């Protein structure tokens, strides 16, 4: 390609020459002006570069044009099945590109459209804005690496596919590695969200190329059981040692259900009497506020780190916390049992087996809180208010299974027999009142105990 495309000095006049980027094929030449005109003495015909005063800027200008020409020739070469294009084909392709560039000159680059769109979203949570800013930087970095600019009018599905592949392989950050599948999935999802608001004619969002190329594993939630939590609380760590602090934060999160981003913000002003009362950071301007009862286990941790009325929890990064809780959980015998987790990948149902402690992360503790509260009989509506979930669809992803009850078979048999017995018709009003109280979390212990009996009566009265 280097021999086919080159810089040349032409049009000698008055001791000056004009520099062109040229493509030579089949005894014909296609020239592109670089707008560089220099004294003839400044042109080095051997290296085909400008020398002397102003050489750096002149060479950059000329080489940019040469690079554009070479890229177009390479594109046509591949399109022709590894056959070099004729000068006529190259001229036609360059003319079409010139028209596209003129259209693009009249519209804003996609990055500017995205930036302006983001400015209109005043109610976004801080995390959402950070994520979209990252997408913006990802596009800018891709454009810089590929010397291109995205415009909505010319963006193609293939561009998004190439962008994904580049994000997967490009080295970045402290680890100098590409994005993992889950992070990449999030970036593509946010770009698609923007393109639904600002469609690109050449991008079909239903096309596989415009979707995440790397599937994200959808798993059933793993949670800690009550016995696991009791064992973790009983571990004999030295007071205020590293693992003691991590264990305390683990227990606190498992018994209050806060996200890690909210737990690290927890201080005295958010603790009011027997409740934690704070706005969730993730909800941003939408400001979902949670009112979480402080259970005894959580109260013990809060008291431990409250001095002179000021709560100061241990400061630790999420990564170190996640690493640390695995160290803590490894010291619990029951968490060395194998656990098989179901998951779905690209629509296929699969499973994986690991030791239980290997599944534990900070988010496991939030799921544990929700699952244990439901296991203890708290109302669904009540637990959702504590966790801050506004929809059942999002909430149900946090509910796991902590135990397989040995008495479930006998209990089912008893309920089955009871269902076959016809009881005398009775008023359903007490039953409905009890159910409503149960759902709202306002029932007494006696009502909860009697609810099963009332439901059996109601079921019997409804039989023909």
Span 98-108, pLDDT tens digits: 655 554 456 78
Lowest mean pLDDT among 13-17, 164-168, 406-410, 432-436: 432-436
Given a cut of 60, is residue 456 above it in pLDDT? no
- The predicted-structure confidence for 19-61, as pLDDT tens digits, reads as follows 999 999 988 999 998 989 999 999 999 999 999 988 999 999 9
> Sorting pLDDT into bands at 50, 70 and 90, what band is 449?
low
- Using pLDDT thresholds of 50, 70 and 90, give the confidence band for residue 326: very high
Confidence of residue 346 (pLDDT cuts 50, 70, 90): low
End-to-end CA distance of the chain: give it in Å, rounded: 87
Do 17 and 51 contact (CB within 8 A), yes or no?
A: no
Distance set, CA 437 to CA 112, 229, 292, 374, 432 (Å): 54, 30, 20, 16, 9
Tokens of 462: 């409804």
- Mean of pLDDT values over 296-323: 94
- Give which of 259, 250, 257, 294 is closest to 370, Cα–Cα: 257
pLDDT at residue 446 is higher than 80: no
Between 97-106, 145-154, 356-365, the lowest mean confidence (pLDDT) is in 97-106
Does 191 score more than 90 pLDDT? Answer: yes
378-427 confidence digits (pLDDT tens): 888 888 889 888 776 677 766 766 555 556 567 666 766 776 664 444 44
DSSP 277: E
Say if residues 251 and 298 touch (Cβ distance below 8 Å).
yes
Q: How much is the average pLDDT of 204-231?
A: 78
Nearest to 359 by CA among 189, 183, 221, 196: 221
Q: Which two tokens stand for residue 446?
A: 């006696």
Segment 430-454 shows an average pLDDT of 52
58-75 as b/e: b if 16+ CB within 10 A: bbeebbebbebbbebbee
Q: What is the DSSP string of 399-415?
A: -------TTHHHHHHHH
For the segment 138-161, the average pLDDT, to the nearest whole number, is 89
Angle at 211 between CA 207 and CA 214, to 5 degrees: 130
What is the dihedral sign for C-alpha 177, 182, 187, 192?
A: positive
**Lowest mean pLDDT segment, chosen from 77-86, 140-149, 392-401:** 392-401
pLDDT grade for 464, boundaries at 50, 70 and 90: very low
pLDDT tens, residue by residue, 164-189: 888 888 766 555 567 777 788 888 89
Average pLDDT value for the chain: 82
Q: Counting beta carbons within 10 angstroms of the beta carbon of residue 385, is it exposed (0 to 12), middle (13 to 18) or buried (19 or more)? A: middle
Q: CA nearest 205: which of 140, 134, 156?
A: 156
Per-residue pLDDT for 452 more than 60?
Answer: no
Least confident of 184-198, 389-403, 434-448: 434-448
Strands in 5-13's sheet, in edge-to-edge order, are 5-13, 16-25, 28-39
Q: Please report, for residues 373, 404, 432, 448, the alpha-carbon distance to residue 411 in angstroms, rounded to integers and kept in the order given.
A: 22, 13, 23, 17
Token duo for residue 357: 């402690």
Question: 261-265, 283-287, 324-328 — which is least confidently predicted?
Answer: 283-287
- Phi/psi of residue 275, each to 5°? -135, 150
Which of 131, 117, 114, 115 shows the shortest CA–CA distance to 284?
131
Instruction: Name the pLDDT band for 336 (thresholds 50, 70, 90).
Output: very high
CA dist., res. 19 & res. 64, Å (int):
12
How many other C-beta atoms lie within 10 A of the C-beta of residue 224? 28
């Amino acid at each position: 390609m280097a021999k086919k495309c080159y810089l040349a000095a032409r049009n000698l006049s008055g001791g000056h020459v004009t520099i062109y980027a040229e493509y030579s094929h089949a005894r014909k030449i296609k020239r592109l002006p670089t707008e560089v005109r220099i004294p003839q003495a400044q042109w080095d015909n051997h290296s085909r570069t400008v020398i002397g005063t102003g050489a750096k800027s002149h060479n950059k200008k000329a080489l940019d044009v040469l690079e554009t020409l070479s890229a177009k020739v390479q594109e046509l070469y591949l399109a022709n099945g590894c056959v070099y294009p004729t000068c006529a084909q190259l001229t036609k392709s360059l003319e079409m590109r010139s028209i596209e560039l003129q259209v693009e000159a009249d519209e804003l680059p996609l990055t500017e459209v995205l930036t302006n769109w983001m400015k209109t979203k005043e109610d976004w949570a801080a995390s959402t804005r950070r994520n979209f800013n990252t997408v913006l930087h990802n596009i800018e970095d891709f454009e810089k690496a590929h010397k291109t600019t995205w415009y909505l009018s010319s963006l193609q599905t293939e561009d998004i596919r190439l962008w994904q592949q580049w994000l997967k392989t490009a080295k970045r950050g402290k680890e100098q590695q590409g994005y993992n599948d889950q992070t990449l999935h999030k970036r593509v999802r946010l770009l698609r969200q923007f393109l639904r608001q600002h469609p690109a004619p050449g991008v079909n969002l239903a096309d596989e190329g415009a979707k995440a190329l790397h599937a994200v594993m959808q798993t059933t939630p793993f949670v800690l059981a009550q016995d696991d939590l009791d064992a973790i609380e009983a571990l004999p760590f030295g007071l205020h040692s590293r693992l003691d602090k991590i264990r305390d934060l683990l227990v606190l999160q498992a018994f209050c259900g806060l996200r890690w981003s909210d737990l690290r913000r927890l201080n005295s002003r958010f603790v009011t009497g027997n409740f934690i009362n704070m706005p969730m950071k993730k909800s941003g301007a939408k400001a979902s506020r949670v009112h979480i009862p402080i259970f005894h286990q959580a109260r013990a941790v809060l008291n431990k780190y409250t001095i002179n009325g000021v709560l100061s929890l241990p400061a630790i990064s999420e990564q170190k916390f996640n690493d640390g809780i695995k160290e803590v959980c490894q010291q619990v015998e029951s968490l060395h049992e194998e656990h098989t987790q179901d998951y779905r990948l690209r629509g296929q149902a699969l499973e994986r087996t690991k030791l239980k402690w290997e599944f534990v992360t900070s988010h496991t503790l939030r799921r544990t809180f929700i699952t244990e509260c439901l296991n203890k009989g708290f109302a669904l509506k009540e637990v959702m208010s504590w966790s801050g979930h506004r929809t059942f669809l999002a909430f149900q992803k946090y509910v796991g299974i902590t135990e397989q009850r040995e008495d479930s078979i006998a209990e089912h048999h008893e309920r089955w027999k009871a269902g076959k017995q016809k009881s005398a018709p009775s008023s359903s009003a007490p039953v409905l009142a009890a159910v409503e109280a149960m759902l709202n979390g306002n029932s007494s212990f006696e009502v909860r105990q009697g609810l099963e009996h009332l439901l059996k009566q109601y079921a019997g009265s409804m039989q023909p």
